Amino acid sequence: MNKPTTQTPAFLITIKGLVQGVGFRPFVYRLATRMGYHGWVENRTDGVIILLQENGVLVDRFLEALKNEVPAASDIGSVSVEPVSCEPMHSFEIAKSKETKTGITEICPDIAVCEDCLMDMKSQPHRIGYSLINCTHCGPRFSIIQNLPYDRPNTTMAPFEMCEVCKAEYDNISDRRFHAQPVACNHCGPVYLIFQDEKMLQTTAINDIVSETASRLTKGQIVALKGTGGYHLICDGLNDSAVLSLRNRKKRDGKPLAVMFRNLSVLKRFAYIGETEKNLLQSWQRPVVLLRSKNNLLAAINSGLNTIGAILPYMPMHYLLFQELETHAIVFTSGNISEEPVVIDDLLAKKHLVEVTNTFITYNREIYNRVDDSVVKVISGKPILIRRSRGFVPKPVKLNFDTEGILAVGAEFKNTFCIGKGKQAILSQHIGDLKNMETHGFFTESIERFKRLFRFEPTMIAADLHPDYLSTQYASATGFPMVKVQHHHAHIASCMAEHNLDEPVIGLSFDGTGLGEDGKIWGSEVMIADLTGYSRLAQMEYIPLPGGDKAVDEPWRIVLSLLQKVFGENCHAYAEQLFPEIPTQRRLQIIEALQKNINCPLSSGLGRLFDAVATLCGLCMNPTFEAEGPMRLEAVADKRNKASYTVTISEGIWQLEPLVQELMKDIENKKDIGLVSAKLHNAVAGFAIQSVIAATKESGIKKVALSGGSFQNKILAEKIIKSLEKKNFTTFMHAQAPPNDGGISLGQLAVAAKRRRISCV
């Protein structure tokens, strides 16, 4: 007869959030051991489970220490505690990972190399100079993961069998590399290789590769360097001819280039750095941070703008390179041509980037998930993501409503998609412009990978109203029930979702382009919005765009549109004076098209007004990259000047005639362009503030959500936020998703989820 098993009281703790791939289980082990608990901790695909055998120490003390001492890269989403009973245990153990059928835990983004590993690279015999060193606190994560649970066989580290030394560290519960899935060393791990054209140079010694790379950079050459989530093109950032050569070969005429600096002290010589910016630069995410530059930066870097995209080293190889380099800064731009996705495949790198360089520094570990560098800007003292990718993806946005089964496919430009899992929205990495064939392939491939990785089966799809967007066409072709969400409503819903707002707000949705429900192009929208719908309260007066999209590439067309609208036949004389370099016949054709309304779609896009004023100021006649005109206007604005062009709003329409008349007088009188820009910024802010005040009188709402690409403009955003908060409004800006079209998919998801919930009631 079997003896009855003795049971002892215990606690079963379930933790969800970013708790895998960040050294969480070893942390729990050390904490439980320190507090005298027996039991176990295990990874499951849906979270981390802890069993603590009751020992007289209050479980609340354990939970408090758990939250206070958690590893830096982890993020506890929820903790539940259930009293249970178990057989007596005599130690605390780390149990083997378990897989559940449907539940998933958060997947860790890629983490910059930690200080401890940099020290190990100088001291551990088997890792001296090991250029792919990592531990549970740092290294590749999302870029190498192929499936869950996050164990080595499910990553691109699977082909590399650990040596005895690494295996001992991996199995040692007290070692910093305990269950660090990419753990490796000089004896067993992936290695760097150097190629010239198709030929590999006969060395795998890292010292030789670093020395040769540094030598080539010092000579002004361009090098393709494989990074965490894709290739980068690098050159000496303080060598004017090298930078210009990179621009020409990459076909990147004017767009600013990111720069990696040796360290923070060096960066301070070239840019102004606030405390928030300093923290971002040194964070484990290591994004590119947009800073106000000083005057000692090469003009070829930022094309005369007053900002610089700065980044600090985040891979071991970066640190090794700077030990050999004479220069303190290297251009650090995505390894692609024009608007194609960043290259991740070694063979494709040699094929696609050969026009830029014949030197390729690679390593023999596969990048599975492509991730560009993330870009962040500080506005009103808070970080705003401009591009959300490495270091931030695939961290979910936590919501207070169910999103399961919804796929939101985003917009056409700066595309991201978003999947719904429970009460989470999981945004993809930055995809790019879907009109590019390679980018569209990246889009469809990534959707399939997210479906597999996150055990996601779509049952509903959300898309933009625009029928010509390739994302919308993809959605239509799936055959799933589809929810179409107006572009600017999606912007506001995205901001609301981040802040868990499920109530009507006043929305300011300012950008350049988005199809409106009236078939016209919107982009200066003041609305009352919730997650189900919106009402449009105010907008800028529509401007005809002669030639449609051609007017974005040739913004002098928009200037002629404004002149013809305000001055009628007299616009001929203005046009001849302003644009003598444009053939007379061409100018007359555009004016005739405006008069006869031939191919002149109407736009209320705020970006188009900025384009026109930048052209009038002589700042941007032929843009070489998106939003160049608005960026140049922001760069020259006299921020201290409070003068403004007249803002006349009639029945919710901002009438542009007074502004254009005053603007043309300033241009004729050759007023300083810093003043002109300041007056435009102040006028746009005035339109926003007057419209919000009118909206709150009508609705009583005092919460304002700001979204859209125009709110990447620091001057404009801060003017509006400061003025509204002085008037006791509560403002909300993006923090987890970009305000530009990179955040559209989150808004689409939120709207689709809310409408589904209401339809099911």
pLDDT in tens, 533-592: 999 999 999 999 999 999 999 999 999 999 999 998 888 888 889 999 999 999 999 999
Q: Which pLDDT does position 657 carry in this prediction?
A: 96
Reference 252, options 334, 348, 309; nearest CA is 334
pLDDT surpasses 80 at 2: no
Listed range (7-21, 144-158, 669-683) with the worst mean pLDDT:
7-21
Q: Which pLDDT does position 1 carry in this prediction?
A: 40
The packing angle between helices 470-478 and 437-453, to 10°, is 40
409 pLDDT band, cuts 50/70/90, is very high
* Average pLDDT estimate for 231-247: 96
What sign for the dihedral angle of Cα 277, 283, 285, 287? positive
User: How much of the chain, in percent, has pLDDT values that exceed 70?
Assistant: 98
Lookup: tokens for 248: 């020409």
**Peptide bond between residue 9 and the one before it cis (omega within 30 degrees of 0):** no
Q: How far apart are CA 70 and CA 140, in angstroms?
A: 20
State the Rg of the chain over Cα.
Answer: 28
Whole-number mean pLDDT of the chain? 93
More confident residue, 36 or 705: 705
| Complete DSSP assignment for 536-577 | EEEEEPPEE-TTTTHHHHSTHHHHHHHHHHHHGGGHHHHHHH
Listed range (87-101, 692-706, 736-750) with the worst mean pLDDT:
87-101
Q: What three-state secondary structure class fits 519?
A: coil
257 pLDDT band, cuts 50/70/90, is very high
Q: Which pLDDT does position 339 carry in this prediction?
A: 76
Which class for 49: exposed (0-12), middle (13-18), buried (19 or more C-beta within 10 A)? middle
Q: How far apart are CA 577 and CA 556, in angstroms?
A: 12
Residue 396: partners with Cβ closer than 8 Å, 6 or more residues away: 106, 421, 424, 425, 426, 427
| Complete DSSP assignment for 435-461 | TSHHHHHHHHHHHHHHHHHTT---SEE
pLDDT surpasses 70 at 3: no
More confident residue, 571 or 370: 370
Residue 319: partners with Cβ closer than 8 Å, 6 or more residues away: 113, 118, 121, 313
Q: How far apart are CA 123 and CA 112, in angstroms?
A: 20
CB 41 within 8 A of CB 94: yes
Q: Which pLDDT does position 569 carry in this prediction?
A: 81
Listed range (4-18, 324-338, 562-576) with the worst mean pLDDT:
4-18
* Residue type, position 694, single letter: A
CA angle 247, 253, 314 (to 5 degrees): 50
CA angle 266, 290, 258 (to 5 degrees): 70
* Average pLDDT estimate for 321-338: 94
Q: Which pLDDT does position 204 carry in this prediction?
A: 75
* Average pLDDT estimate for 17-28: 82
Confidence (pTM):
0.93
Query: What is the Cβ-side half-sphere exposure of residue 304, based on CA atoms within 13 angstroms?
Result: 9
pLDDT surpasses 90 at 148: no
Q: Which pLDDT does position 253 carry in this prediction?
A: 76
pLDDT surpasses 50 at 390: yes
Lookup: tokens for 594: 């405006």
Task: State residue 724 phi and psi, 5-degree precision.
Answer: -70, -40
686 pLDDT band, cuts 50/70/90, is very high
Q: How far apart are CA 392 and CA 372, in angstroms?
A: 11
Bridge partners (DSSP) of residue 528 are 506, 535
Q: How far apart are the first and last CA of the chain?
A: 56
- Write the Ramachandran bin of 455: left for phi over 0, alpha for psi from -120 to 50, otherwise beta: left
5 pLDDT band, cuts 50/70/90, is low
pLDDT surpasses 80 at 514: yes
| Complete DSSP assignment for 668-737 | HTT--HHHHHHHHHHHHHHHHHHHHHHHHHHH---EEEEESGGGG-HHHHHHHHHHHHHTT-EEE--SSS
Reference 387, options 311, 294, 303; nearest CA is 311
Each residue of 264-321: pLDDT tens digit?
Answer: 999 999 999 999 999 999 999 999 999 999 987 888 898 889 999 999 999 999 999 9
Lookup: tokens for 691: 């419209």
CB 280 within 8 A of CB 378: yes
Q: What three-state secondary structure class fits 375?
A: strand
* Average pLDDT estimate for 516-528: 97
> What count of other Cβ atoms lies within 10 Å of the Cβ of residue 50?
26
